[in-house]
A and B are shown apart, each in its own frame.
Chain A
Amino acid sequence: MTEPTPPTPDAPMRDVAALRRNIASRKRADKSFFISGALIIFVSLGILAVLFGNLLSEGWPALTQTYYTKADKSGFGRDDLGGEITRVGDGWTVQIPLATLSDIKDSDVSKGLVGKKVGIVGRLRGGAIPQIIVREIGLADQIAAADITGTLERTQTPPAKPGDEAEVVYNILPGPLAVNVDKIPAEEKSALVSGTPVAFKMDDRVKEGRFTARSVSPLITKNFFTSFPSRNPGEAGILSAWVGTLLVMLVTMLAAIPLGAAAGIYLEEYAPKNRLTSIIEINIANLAGVPSIIWGLMALGLFVYTLALGRSVLTAGLTLGLLVLPIVIIATREAIRSIPNTIREASIGLGATKWQTIRYHILPYSMPGILTGSIIAMSRAIGETAPLVTIGALTFIAFLPRSPIPPIQREISVEQQSTYDLAVAKDPSTPPPQPQLHFTGGEWLTSEFTVMPIQLFQWVSRPQLEFHQNAAATGVVLLAMTLTLNGLAIFLRFRLRRNLKW
C-alpha cells in the first residue's frame, strides 16, 4: 500500500488520478481484509462442523448396530468376516472384500488352480484385508462343505533386493462370494434383510451352528449405551463410561460449586483490599491456567498416595472439582460485581446484616450467573482426560459402581451371625438376631471407574478400525453433552442480559 502524497499548497490536487488510484487501492485492501477475515471465521466454524460430521459419520455404525449372537460368544471378534448380505433366491450371498490366503504353498498344484473357481475350508483372520488361513483348497465342486468359494489369483512381487526371494501371494478375487449361510439358525435369519452388513465366524465352529450377524438399524439403538467395554469392538459399549462420568460429575459439582461460590462471595463482599486479597486474586488467575495434567499429578501425589483415596470416583471428582474451581469463582465474582451497590445499601439501610444482605439479595440476584459459570465448569470437567489418566483411571472397567441412591437393606450382618452362632452353640434357646438397617450408599465413592473421555482415548489408541468407530461414537456423545451444556449456558446468559436491567 502506498502512502497518499499530501497535496502541497503550491500544487493542489495536481495528480488527481494518482490520488484516486491510491484511494481505490486502500479500499481494495480494506475489502480483501474483510473477505479474508470472514473466510477465516467461517473456515473455523466449518472445521467445527466437519469435526462433528466426521464423528457422526464414523461413529454411526457403532451407535446403530445390533448384534445377533448365539449364546456362545467366546473368542468371537478375531475370526469374523464382514460383508453385506444379499438374498439370492432361497440362499444368501455375502459381498466381502478381497481376501488374502495364507499358508498356500507355491506349488504346481496351487499354480494349477489359478483362475479357476475354488472352494476353501479355512479360518479367517480379521483386519482391513481379511486373511484366510487355508485348511483345505480345491476346485469348487470338489470341496463340498466350503466356507468360501471364489476365483483364485496369484501375484508375485519382485524381490526388494537382489538375492531375496520373490514374494508370492494368493488372493481370492473380489466379488460376491457365496458363503454357506444355510448354517444360520432360522430365527436369526429372519432378522436379516438384504443390504444388512453382517459378520460371520469363519472357523469350523460355524459348522456347529454358531453364527453372529450384525444388523444396522436406521435409528440409534440402545445397545451402545447398555453394553460394557469388550474385546470385541462390535459388542463394546459405554455403559460403565457414562455411568462413571455421571458419578464423577456429581462429586465434582458437590466439590466445586459450593466452594467456588463461597470463595467468590468472600472475594467480592468481604475481602478487604490488602496484600492477602491480591495474592488470592492473582493465585486464582494462575490456577485457571495450570495445565490439566499438573492437576493429575497433584491428585496422584496427594489424593491417591498421601490421603490414600485410591484411584476412585472420589479422587477423580475432587480433582476435577479443584480443576474447575477457578471457573466457578470467576463466574461468581462477575455475577456479584454486576449487582449495583444500591441494592446493598437499601438492604443495609433497612437494618439487615451483611450476611442477611448476601443471603436474601446478593445470592438470589447472582444465582443465574453462578449457575451459568457452573454449567461451563461442568462442560469443561466432562471432557477432561489427562488428569484422570494420570491418577490411573486407564483400566478396563466392565462393572458398575454401587448405586449412589442408598438401597436401604434389612440384613443380618456377618458379626451378628457369628455372635449368634457362638451363642446358639452354648444355649440353643438364644433368639435369632434382628435384621438391622444397612446403608450401602457410599460405596460408589471408593469404586474404580472409567469415564467417557478415557474410554474414547483407549479406543483411539487401538489399531482396529472397529474400535475407532466406537471412539467416534463416544466422541459424538461426549461432544453432544459438552455442546448442550455450553448452549445452555449461552442461552442462560442471553436470557439474563435481556431480563435484568438495573
Chain B
Amino acid sequence: MSGQRVKEFFIEGFLFIAGASSILITLGIVFVLLYETIPFFAWQSRALHLPEAVAGHTTVSAVLVRAGDEVVQGTPILEAAIVEDGARKSVQLVASQFTRINEINVKVGDSIARDTLVISADERVRFTDFFGDRLWAPVFDIPRFGIWSLITGTLVTTAVALMVAVPAGTISAIWLSEYCNPALREWIKPTLELLAAVPTVVYGYFALLVVTPLLQRLFGLVGYDLDGFNMLSAGLVMGIMIIPYIASLSEDAMRAVPMQMREGSYAMGATRFQTAVRVLIPAALSGMTAAYILAISRAVGETMIVALAAGLQSKFTLDPTESAATISAAIVQAVMGDLPHESTAYRAVFAAGLGLMIITLFFNIAGHMLRKRYREAY
C-alpha cells in the first residue's frame, strides 16, 4: 500500500510540474524578451584607448561628433572623462546612442584625438528615439528605431479588420442565436469556424494575389493607383479571418442570456429584431465586448497576412491605401535577413516584440475578465 502511495505522490508531482509548466513558459517568454530589450535601451559607455594623447592630461571633452553626414555638437555624447585603468589611461565616453555616430574627435587638454567608430554590437538605443522617431529601419546604415511607425501600421490594419469583422460577426452571432434553427446552426457554426482554421499564410496569399488585384481594379475605376502592397487588402482579409472569433464568442454570450428575458420581450409584442437589439445586446454586452477585445488582440498579433500583403517597410501613415509594416511584419522582415546575434538590430526585434506582447496581454487580460463577468452574471 505504501508503495502505491509513493507512486501516487510522484505522479501527482509530475502532473503538478506539467500544470505549472505554463508559468515557466510565460516566464521564459518574458525573460527572453526582457533579456534582449534591456541592453537595447541601456546606456553604454565606450572607452577610446588613446594612451599617448591622454598622458599628462586631466580634462577631456568631445569636440566633434559626426553622425552619418551631419555633424552633431555636444549630443549624443553625454559625458566624457579620463579613466585610469591601472597603468593605462583611456577616454571614457558615455553616449546614448552610438549607432548613429561614425566619428568622434575628442579634445584632451590641447590636442585633439580622433576615433572613427565602427558600428559595433554594443550600441544602445534611447527611449526618446524609440518613441520619438517616426521610422523603423533597424538594418539601415544609420539605423532608426521609431516604434510609432509600426504602431500606426498595426493600428490601421486592425481598424480595417474590425470594420469588417465587428458588424459581420455581430450580425452573424445574432442571426445564429436568434434566427437560425438549431439543426442548421449545428452545421453553420463549425463551418464558419473553419474560416479561423485556414492557415494565415494562405490568407496572405489570398490578400496579395486575389484581393489586392481586385481592389486595384476597383480603385482604378475612380482613377486611383493602388499600391501592390496596401494595408487595406491585408486588413479586409484579416477581418474575414476574425469574423468567427467574434461570431462564436458573441453567440455564446447571447445564448447565456436566460430565456425568460427573451420571453418577456416577446410577450410585450417585440419582434425578434427588437428583442435582439434592446434586450439581448444590453444583456450580453460584456460577453460581446470580450469577443471584440479578443478579436483585437488576434488582429494586432497577426503576422503572415500583413507581412505578405501590407508590405514590410515601415511608414508613418494612417492611410490604409498605403503600404506600411505592422509590429509583427517588422519582426518578420528583420529576421528574414541574417541578423547577427546580439546586434542592435537583433535586440530591436525583441524590443518590438515586447511592445506587441504588452499590447496583446493588455487586451487578453481585459477580454478574459469581461468573459468571466458575463459567465457570472447569469
Contacts and interface: CB of A to CB of B under 8 A. Distances in A.
A353 B273 contact: no
A51 B304 contact: no
A390 B302 CA distance: 14
A271 to B, nearest CB: 7
Contacts of A383: 197-202
A54 B237 CA distance: 15
Interface residues of A, number: 86
B114 interface: no
B197 A379 contact: yes
A291 B363 CA distance: 12
Given A355-B11, A386-B304, A259 B198 contact: no
Contacts of B294: 289
B19 A457 contact: no
Interface in A25-83: 26-27, 29-30, 33-34, 36-38, 40-41, 44-45, 47-48, 50-51, 54-55, 58
Most buried by B among A36, A293, A479: A293
The B interface, classified by DSSP as helix, strand, loop or mixed, is helix
Contacts of B199: 382-385, 453, 478-479, 482
Contact of A302 (B32, B335, B360): B32
A311 to B, nearest CB: 11
Contacts of A472: 205
Interface in B208-240: 208-210, 240
A248 interface: no
A390 B327 CA distance: 13
Contact of A475 (B190, B202, B272, B341): B202
Most buried by A among B28, B29, B179, B197: B197
Nearest to A306: B32
Interface string A378-420: 0110111110011010100000000000000000000000000
Contact of A293 (B25, B301, B363, B367): B301
Contacts of A471: 205, 209
B22 A390 contact: no
Contact of B208 (A47, A50, A389, A460): A460
B18 interface: yes
B315 to A, nearest CB: 19
A317 to B, nearest CB: 15
Contacts, number: 260
Most buried by B among A297, A326, A329: A297
Contacts of A289: 294, 297-298, 301, 360-361, 363-364, 367
B206 interface: yes
Interface string A467-488: 0100110010011001100100
Nearest to A304: B341
Interface stretch (B63-71, B80-88, B253-261, B348-356): B348-356
24 contacts: A29-B271, A29-B273, A38-B179, A41-B172, A41-B175, A41-B176, A41-B192, A51-B202, A279-B23, A280-B19, A286-B368, A289-B361, A289-B364, A290-B361, A292-B301, A294-B29, A353-B4, A383-B199, A386-B332, A389-B336, A392-B338, A453-B304, A468-B209, A482-B198
Interface of A: 4, 26-27, 29-30, 33-34, 36-38, 40-41, 44-45, 47-48, 50-51, 54-55, 58, 259, 262-263, 265-267, 270-271, 276, 279-280, 282-287, 289-298, 300-302, 305-306, 322, 325-326, 329, 353-355, 379-380, 382-386, 389-390, 392, 394, 453, 456-457, 460-461, 468, 471-472, 475, 478-479, 482-483, 486, 490
8 nearest A-B pairs in the assembled complex, by CB-CB distance: A291-B301, A383-B199, A37-B175, A262-B18, A301-B32, A266-B19, A266-B15, A386-B303
